């Protein structure tokens, strides 16, 4: 299980680093005026963070369920 967590952490780190690379490019003027100056960028970042955390949690839970099902199937085929 810890092996899966390390893989998930590495994937999340890689994803965040790539987002930072894209974010470092100059933003168009309308984006700057719309989000940065009005303070809505914080809300956008919060929503994106919640969505990504939700996806990560869903993937983790699905992986655990699949592992349990595989274990059950292996036990049934042996017994």
Res. 22: pLDDT tops 60? no
Concatenating the DSSP letter of every residue in 24-54 gives: TSPPPHHHIIIIITTTTHHHHHHHHHHHHHH
Mean pLDDT to the nearest integer, 1-9: 69
Query: pLDDT category, 10, cuts 50, 70, 90?
Result: confident
* Owning domain of residue 59: 2-78
Q: Which residues contact 8 (CB under 8 A, 6 or more apart)?
A: 56, 59, 60
**How many domains in the chain?**
1
Res. 76: pLDDT tops 70? yes
């Amino acid at each position: 299980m810890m092996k899966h967590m390390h893989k998930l952490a590495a994937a999340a780190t890689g994803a965040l680093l790539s987002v930072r690379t894209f974010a470092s490019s100059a933003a168009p003027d309308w984006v700057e005026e719309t989000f940065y100056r009005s303070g809505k960028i914080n809300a956008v970042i919060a929503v994106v963070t919640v969505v990504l955390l939700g996806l990560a949690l869903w993937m983790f839970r699905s992986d655990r369920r699949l592992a349990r099902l595989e274990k059950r199937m292996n036990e049934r085929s042996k017994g």
